[in-house]
Amino acid sequence: MEYTAYNIQKRSYLGITSLLLSLAGFTILPVVGSIAAILTGGAALKEPAGQDDSFAKAGIFLGWLNLVLCVVLTVVAVLSMIIFTARISM
């Protein structure tokens, strides 16, 4: 019986960190976690070739998604407060 070696790619620790920080950005560290995920994901993509960068790409994507959602929700909240206070003063 022959045994063959599988081509297992190394995982980047910075890529894993980026993904974890982006998930933390959705839960306990809204803006800080997202910015840290984008930065660590970018650093993971600059690492030498031969490592799987899918975690880094996912972390960067989720980090940007969270930042966009934070900005949109902040704008909606501010506009709704302005509209609500304008209706009360009429």
Residue 4 has pLDDT above 70, yes or no: no
Question: What confidence score (pLDDT) does residue 49 get?
Answer: 72
pTM above 0.85, yes or no: no
Residue 81 has pLDDT above 80, yes or no: yes
Residue 9 has pLDDT above 80, yes or no: no
Write down the domain spans for the chain.
10-88
Q: Which long-range contacts (CB under 8 A, 24 or more apart) does 22-30 make?
A: 22/58, 22/59, 22/60, 22/61, 22/62, 22/63, 22/66, 23/62, 25/62, 25/63, 25/66, 26/62, 26/66, 30/66, 30/70
User: Where residue 2 falls among pLDDT bands split at 50, 70, 90?
Assistant: low
| pLDDT tens digits along 42-65 | 999 998 876 778 999 999 999 999
Residue 8 has pLDDT above 70, yes or no: no
- Work out the widest C-alpha separation in the chain, in whole angstroms: 85
